[in-house]
Copies of this chain bind each other. A is one copy, B any other.
Amino acid sequence: MKIAVRTKESAYKALEREFESTLVNELIPGILHNFANPLNGIMGRSKLLQRRMNEHFNKIKECCPDFAREIVDEQDKLSTDVISICKESDRFFYLFQDLASKFYVISDNRFERINLKKLIENELRFLEFYLDFKHEIKKTIKLTSDMPWIYGTQSGYSLCFSALLRSSMYRMKKSETKELSIITDCDERNIMVVIQDTGAKMIVNTDSATEGDSLLSCNVDMSSLVCVQLLFKEYNVKSVFEGKTGWNRVTLQIPVNRESST
């Protein structure tokens, strides 16, 4: 990628871009690595403490039963504190995992079988780090529990689904109603995924996706959707994009047999 260094502003932008380009492969793995140490420490210790404290309370009960009855409220408070620390550190760990999984998945370029339900669920948990998605949008998610495997690269499907869902999020930024639904269905040959949102009308230039050789800016919604279309086409996924006033719908038909996927 070539960037014209003409002015102070473009030099500044180029440095910002250079910094950004380190985030996925260097910074985020480093954050996960550095955060893992204290988090593991807290989790390990709090579980150890919980066990030891119970033993301690049992011993008091055994040796000084009168005293134990007297301090039962204090003991409860101490137990509650430890339980709360264990709970918060577990919660932290799950958040940590949501982040780690996403960055693991987008670096996994192997062609392999994919559990699409799990992939979509991971995507949704990861999107909770986008605060608009977490706080502003009402989500209705109905995923078939016994989906067959699909075949492809996790990274590609992850990028496509996250681009689709973020584009819904961006379109709903100014909507009064912010509702997103993801519904799946499947038969022996295909998994159907319907993503619907109540955002501003979606515009997709299907022709250029089909031709696939026009020059497009990928910073705008339209063109990232074009990229999604293009990739899905490569994956033999049939995609239909419908942008209407008041609602938008993306319908995907994903083949489950190994042979037809590339």
Contact = CB atoms under 8 A, between A and B. Distances in A.
Nearest to A78: B52
A11 B223 CA distance: 9
A214 interface: yes
A228 B22 contact: no
Contacts of A67: 60, 63-64, 67
A5 B163 contact: no
How many monomers of this protein are in the complex? 2
Contacts of A212: 5-7, 11
A59 interface: yes
A144 interface: no
Contact of A38 (B89, B216, B217): B89
A63 B70 CA distance: 11
Contacts of A111: none
B48 A81 contact: yes
A88 B45 contact: yes
Contact of A166 (B22, B48, B213, B224): B22
Interface in A1-27: 1-8, 11-12, 14-24, 26-27
13 contacts: A15-B160, A19-B159, A19-B163, A30-B134, A31-B99, A38-B95, A41-B85, A52-B77, A55-B74, A56-B71, A59-B74, A64-B64, A85-B85
Interface of A: 1-8, 11-12, 14-24, 26-31, 33-35, 37-39, 41-42, 45-46, 48-49, 52-53, 55-56, 59-60, 63-64, 67, 70-71, 74-75, 77-78, 81-82, 84-85, 88-89, 91-92, 95, 99, 106, 128-131, 134, 156, 159-160, 162-163, 166, 208, 212-219, 223-224, 226-228, 230-231, 234
